[in-house]
Structure 1
Amino acid sequence: MKSLKEEIKGLDMEKIKEKASLLSSTIKTEPVDEKKYHCHKCKDDEWIIKKNEDDREYAVPCECRKERAAERLMRSSRITPEFQSKRFNNFVQEGRPYQVVEALKAACNYVRDLDDKNIPKGGIALLGRPGCGKTHLLMAIANYLLALGTQVIYFPFVEGFNEIKANLDSLETRIYQLQQADVLYIDDLFKGRKEITDFVIEQTFAIINYRYLEKKPILISSEKTIAGLCEIDEGIGSRINEMCRDYRVILQGGIELNYRLQQEAP
């Protein structure tokens, strides 16, 4: 039986080196993956642990908490890529009725009147006929503000309340988020064929009234006029009227205002 030394001597060292070189060239050394956090301050916990003078630990909300809460609400509100693409420069105004052009002017003026923190002053309401471009213009405002780093929460009225009613455990949190948002966009306020329930009116009033008292900006689209909103709840309608006094356009008229019906079928 050969000894270990004899076996080693019998090996072709050049072939061994060749195989070793080939093997090393085919092995991929993967870098060690470090977990990537959206926020390195809190490591996505949204809370930061600090110590007081007695060396006791306590938690404070991280600066990212409000932003991430807004992102979650935006996702749950089902903002589509199509809505994210709504801009002022792709809004068609050629051949549109003068009320639609006035709505475009109001939307453009609204974003020009921002404070030093890129927050709008007051609110804007585009009300009236469906298919006039109300959602497009208000979404253009929202996208413009988001590009400036301003927090905007989009709340499609029907879908938003369906989600709230499906998960009443989160009611308080959801209403709080809508109240506290830097800018809140409520789309199709009081839309729906069914009678507006007391629950919906109560929660809507809680949102509108808080923002009215705290002078927080709001974007409103609705097929209702101010008078129509007041018929549902005068407190809500009158507050929106005052909040949006400087930027309020009522689009009234016939079917010619509905741009969706004027487009030629492909």
Structure 2
Amino acid sequence: MKASEITEEFKRLGFQNFVREGKPKIIQDIYEAALEYYQDFKEIRNVRANSIALLGQPGTGKTHLLTAISNNLLQRQQVPVLYFPYVEGCNNLKDDFSKLEAKLERMKQVDILFIDDLFKPVKGNPRATDWQVEQMYAVINYRYLNHKPILVSSELTVDELVEVDEALGTRIYEMCQDFTVVIQGDRKELNHRLEALKHV
């Protein structure tokens, strides 16, 4: 668990404390997709479509559910997971090039890689410099070729990921094709952090 780099706060996130009551159907859908992925993991872990992507609207619980999968895999099945928060992770990689190679190697080799908020947009534009795309492509392509699962959350849709980089986006989609859910709709309905605005 320590090697996973999952924070103390995130270690408490599970399927049982994910709030679904009174939420739109799409929230139930992402919960069911995440739970089914975890339940099917042993059977699918070595096939091409062995990964999951929860995409779209922020604040809908994408990170919570992928963390729930990670925590359960770590604690119940002793499967190593590495958590990589995209924005902070890329900043850390650039800040310390001496550790870059070792970190990228861990990201390639770990049993499960959880990439959180991939290409997180700034003012509507994906955060995807040539350097960031190059590093992500190297990691994803290695995992794609070696059938190593990824868990991905992103505010971008499949098409938008493909727009950032077609080779990278299509690999992610192929890996996650059986477990991809895109969440779009009214942010007041979907973003749990805006819950109070429903009544304003």
Q: Is the TM-score greater than 0.5?
A: yes
Higher relative contact order (CA 8 A, sep 6+): 2
For residues 51 and 196 of structure 2, the distance between their equivalents in structure 1, rounded to whole angstroms, comes to 31
2:19 to 85, 92, 101: 92
Q: Secondary structure at the match of 2:66?
A: helix
Q: Secondary structure at the match of 1:150?
A: coil
Cα shift at 1:114: 2.5
- Match runs of 1:23-172 below 5 Å: 71-72=2-3, 74=5, 79-115=6-42, 119=45, 122-147=50-75, 148-172=77-101
| Contact 1:87/1:136 (<8 A) preserved | yes
Q: Secondary structure at the match of 1:260?
A: helix
Residue in 1 that maps onto 2:132: 200
1:228 to 138, 142, 160: 160
Segments ≥4 residues shifted beyond 2 Å: 70-73, 118-121
Cα shift at 1:263: 4.7
For residues 188 and 246 of structure 1, the distance between their equivalents in structure 2, rounded to whole angstroms, comes to 20
Residue in 2 that maps onto 1:33: none
**Residue 238 (str. 1) matches residue 170 (str. 2):** yes
| Contact 1:135/1:221 (<8 A) preserved | yes
For residues 30 and 18 of structure 2, the distance between their equivalents in structure 1, rounded to whole angstroms, comes to 11
For residues 83 and 46 of structure 2, the distance between their equivalents in structure 1, rounded to whole angstroms, comes to 15
Q: Secondary structure at the match of 2:33?
A: helix
Q: Secondary structure at the match of 1:175?
A: helix
Cα shift at 1:81: 1.9
TM norm structure 2: 0.89
Residue in 2 that maps onto 1:260: 193
| Contact 1:114/1:120 (<8 A) preserved | no
Residue in 2 that maps onto 1:218: 150
Cα shift at 1:100: 1.1
TM norm structure 1: 0.68
Q: Secondary structure at the match of 1:215?
A: coil
Cα shift at 1:120: 7.5
| Contact 1:113/1:120 (<8 A) preserved | no
Residue in 2 that maps onto 1:67: none
RMSD: 1.9
| Contact 2:121/2:155 (<8 A) preserved | no
For residues 169 and 81 of structure 1, the distance between their equivalents in structure 2, rounded to whole angstroms, comes to 27
Greater Cα offset, 194-203 or 230-239: 194-203
Cα shift at 1:172: 1.2
Equivalent pairs, count:
190
Residue in 1 that maps onto 2:115: 186
Cα shift at 1:165: 0.3
For residues 114 and 224 of structure 1, the distance between their equivalents in structure 2, rounded to whole angstroms, comes to 25
Q: Secondary structure at the match of 1:154?
A: strand
For residues 153 and 257 of structure 1, the distance between their equivalents in structure 2, rounded to whole angstroms, comes to 28
Residue deviations 1:95-115 (CA, integer Å, cap 9, x gap): 111111100000010011122
| Contact 2:4/2:80 (<8 A) preserved | no
Q: Secondary structure at the match of 2:178?
A: coil
For residues 157 and 93 of structure 1, the distance between their equivalents in structure 2, rounded to whole angstroms, comes to 27
Q: Secondary structure at the match of 1:250?
A: strand
Which segments of 5 or more consecutive residues in structure 1 lack a partner in the other structure? 1-69
Residue deviations 1:19-60 (CA, integer Å, cap 9, x gap): xxxxxxxxxxxxxxxxxxxxxxxxxxxxxxxxxxxxxxxxxx
Which segments of 5 or more consecutive residues in structure 2 lack a partner in the other structure? none
